[in-house]
Amino acid sequence: MQLVPALLPSLIQAIDRAIEANAEEVTALDQAIGDGDHVTNLQRGIKALLAQSDELARLDWVAAWQKIGMTLMTAVGGASGSLYGTLFVAMSKAARDRPLNLQTFAEVFASGVDAVKQRGKADAGEKTMLDVMIPVATSLQQTAADSVALPEVFENVTRAAIAGMESTRDMLATKGRASFLGERSRGHIDAGAKTSQLMICALVGVLAEHLTAPA
């Protein structure tokens, strides 16, 4: 099966389930070093996307990512709303007039992550969602360049997302609310890194099922 926006409703539903199932854990993470609203912020955005999912499924990727980005920017709020929104708006821009395959998707995702870096004035190692997004982008680009088989791409991406999320535990936060705590920010996983990992793993779960199923 091809990667088409018609998959968007199942992708959004999978994300919704993953965030619901881990909501308490993520809230506890954001309470420990933030203000505790990260999950409710994100859930507002996901519910808005669920409501739009039939419409999104009829768009092409460029239009769908643009709409997803704008919806997240307005519905989520908090620092994460503009950052997650920026990711998709930038992906939409980078995907214009290009065929979508693993190679180009890897480049498009990397452009999205670069835009998040600029928007957040942040980079790897600052205990944010970027500590998941950057290694995932790198892994995608690496596997695309090596033309490895899809199941291995999914495995690598999953591994990079989980390792990135775990890596935030011992980091000192230098961006966002957690940075106000200084050294006391160590010892807790970053909430945005956790939700990025959960969403990426949920996406991989659906894509692995659809793209590697026998025709």
What's CA 65's distance to the chain center, in Å?
12
Answer yes or no whether residue 193 interacts with ligand ADP by CB under 6 A: yes
Interaction between residue 16 and ligand ADP (CB under 6 A)? no
Examine residue 44 and tell whether it contacts ligand ADP (CB under 6 A): no
* Identified binder of ligand ADP from the candidate list 75, 130, 140, 161, rule CB under 6 A: 130
Q: DSSP string spanning 81-146?
A: HHHHHHHHHHHHHHHTT---SHHHHHHHHHHHHHHHHHHHT--TTSSSTHHHHHHHHHHHHHHHHT
Question: What is the spatial distance between Cα 111 and Cα 69, in angstroms, rounded to a whole number?
Answer: 14
Among residues 5, 19, 38, 92, which is the contact residue for Mg ion, using CB under 5 A?
38
Residue 122 interacts with, from Mg ion, ligand ADP, none (CB under 5-8 Å by kind): ligand ADP
- Of the candidates 190, 198, 200, 201, which one interacts with ligand ADP according to CB under 6 A? 190
Q: Is 74 helix (H, G, I), strand (E, B) or coil?
A: helix
Length in residues, the chain = 215
87 binds ligand ADP (CB under 6 A): no
Rounded distance between C-alpha atoms, residue 13 and residue 5, angstroms: 14
State which residue has the least CB distance to ligand ADP: 192
Tracing tokens 């670069």 back to the chain, one arrives at 114
What is the size of the binding site for ligand ADP (CB under 6 A)?
23
Report whether 151 contacts 125 (CB < 8 A): no
35 near Mg ion, rule: CB under 5 A: yes
80 belongs to the binding site for ligand ADP (CB under 6 A): yes
Q: Does 197 bind ligand ADP (CB under 6 A)?
A: no
List residues binding ligand ADP (CB under 6 A).
Answer: 30, 34-35, 37-38, 41, 78-80, 83, 120-122, 128-130, 175-177, 190-193
List residues binding Mg ion (CB under 5 A).
Answer: 30, 34-35, 37-38
